[in-house]
Amino acid sequence: MAVTLAYAIIFLLTLVWYRFVRRQRKKSQGKAQTELPPGSMGWPYIGETLQLYSQDPNVFFASRQKRYGEIFKTHILGCPSVMLASPEAARFVLVTKAHLFKPTYPSSKERLVGPAALFFHQGDYHSRLRKLVQASLSIEAMRNLVPDIDALAASTMDSWHGGHVVNTFHEMKKISFEVGILMIFGRLEARYREELKKNYFIVDKGYNSFPTNIPGTPYRKALQARKRLSKILSDIISERKEKKLLEKDLVGCLLNSKDENGEVLTDDQIADNIIGTLFAAQDTTASVMTWIVKYLHDNPKLLEAVKAEHKAIKRLIEESNHPLSWSHTRNMPITYKVILETLRMASIISFTFREAVADVEYKGYLIPKGWKVMPLFRNIHHNPEFFTDPQKFDPSRFEVAPKPNTFMPFGSGVHACPGNELAKLEMLIVTHHLVSNFRWEVVGSESGIQYGPFPVPVQGLPCRFWKESTT
């Protein structure tokens, strides 16, 4: 009896399994003739998430690229994904077929930044907002920002002097936050600035924490601070509306915009784009500036050449009795190459996320609708085929322009970074003050990278700084 029952169960299970396999096969045949890219989907449900997070993510990407080639599939954070490690594939997703791949972010993050921020969108709304952000970042606007960024960098860095330990990343965050405020609001009243700063930093902390919405967690605190930010921003917006100023800063551009039907943006749309731009501008620029301090410290010969470049500029400034200007910043060729090489080496945005909005075929492979798609910028920037000896910090490699689509620190296509020139301007000015006025040493022998969320040197690169003239 027991044996018969066991046979019956085995028979039933085999039948169920057979029908399941047939259905899956039919499903995939119905979908397309093309096959999925090579790669492993890992364990059921968790996929390869553990492998990705238990090691340096770049080792994860690089080992799979080596095994499977420029396009491979995986399963991470609950999502089937396709990773792309070649310039052509990145261009396909971000530029030529951008309409087939929409931006995608976890909803916990979207809630904190604000759902109307431009980088969550595609189509008409996205291009309208993008034009407004670009208008606030015109050459004229940036030229006018030079004296303010110059003064801001000088005053922040003055406090570094004296040999006490400075957390370089935290200090750079202070500078990039204030530059973001300048670009968004122009000169903002101190009381508003302080309130914005206090609440923004709580949101920033929660943004990078585990998103549990229960009392006391950083995520809950961030949601509450985000509400307060909306209130502060709505006060600033009302005041600006009353004054009817035609300012060219981001708030001015957003307030004065009308679409083809004469519709203005709502206060929520304006607030979400202000917070979004601050988010996009702050940690990114601060991380790269921290790497600049490290790379210059580690390359004394290069540092001498950069110092000489800025000594000459300082002489010009003293002779003309005019402060640092836009035209000075256009004449820093060595520093500019240092910035490009830092962007390549550090590749602080290692990859970006999109989601396929339809089944898409790429080089005979199927990228199924709904799958995440990740162009791997860092792998491209570190590929010896495009950058000889890629682990070497060598700004002179930028004497020759990189091959098309091989250098994308600011992304590419419709969502490429509109703030890239401002970020570079800020880095040029900060480097000018750093090398003209300071010598510095890195504290501790710990080397390595920490993710917060972008890669920065461990502990935010603790350093001691001394003003050169006083030592």
Write out the residues near ligand HEM by the rule CB under 6 A: 103, 118-119, 130, 133, 183, 277, 280-281, 284-285, 288, 348-349, 352, 409-411, 415-419, 422-423
Cβ nearer to ligand HEM, comparing 201 with 466: 201
In the bound complex, what is the minimum distance in angstroms from residue 434's beta carbon to ligand HEM?
Answer: 16
Question: Is 417 annotated as a binding-site member?
Answer: yes
Tell which residue, 207, 20, 257, has the closest CA to residue 106.
Answer: 207
Distance CA 462, CA 441 (A): 9
In the bound complex, what is the minimum distance in angstroms from residue 339's beta carbon to ligand HEM?
Answer: 9
Cβ nearer to ligand HEM, comparing 130 with 221: 130
DSSP structural state of residue 449 = E
Crossing angle of helices 190-207 and 218-243, in 10° steps, is: 150
Cβ nearer to ligand HEM, comparing 253 with 348: 348
Cβ nearer to ligand HEM, comparing 68 with 410: 410
Read out DSSP for 353-380? -EEESS-EEETTEEE-TT-EEEE-HHHH
Question: Cα–chain-centroid distance for residue 345?
Answer: 15
Helix (H, G, I), strand (E, B) or coil at 76: strand
Cβ nearer to ligand HEM, comparing 74 with 282: 282
Question: How many other C-beta atoms lie within 10 A of the C-beta of residue 162?
Answer: 12
Distance CA 201, CA 264 (A): 29
Do 346 and 445 contact (CB within 8 A), yes or no?
no
- Residue 36 tokens read as 């999925």
In the bound complex, what is the minimum distance in angstroms from residue 34's beta carbon to ligand HEM?
Answer: 26
In the bound complex, what is the minimum distance in angstroms from residue 194's beta carbon to ligand HEM?
Answer: 21
Cβ nearer to ligand HEM, comparing 132 with 360: 132
> Is 184 exposed, middle or buried, given 0-12, 13-18 or 19+ CB atoms closer than 10 A?
buried
In the bound complex, what is the minimum distance in angstroms from residue 205's beta carbon to ligand HEM?
Answer: 20
In the bound complex, what is the minimum distance in angstroms from residue 133's beta carbon to ligand HEM?
Answer: 5
In the bound complex, what is the minimum distance in angstroms from residue 285's beta carbon to ligand HEM?
Answer: 4
In the bound complex, what is the minimum distance in angstroms from residue 375's beta carbon to ligand HEM?
Answer: 8
Task: Please give the single-letter amino acid code of residue 66.
Answer: K
Taking the CA atoms of residue 443, residue 342, residue 103 and residue 82 in that order, the dihedral angle to the nearest 10 degrees is -90
Exposure string for 243-275, b = 16+ CB within 10 A, e = fewer:
eeeebbbbbbbbbbbeeeeeeebebebbbbbbb
Number of separate helices (H) and strands (E) present in the chain: 17, 12
Cβ nearer to ligand HEM, comparing 75 with 381: 381
CB closest to ligand HEM, residue no: 419
Cβ nearer to ligand HEM, comparing 229 with 275: 275
Binding site for heme, by residue number, is 417
Binding site, by residue number, is 417
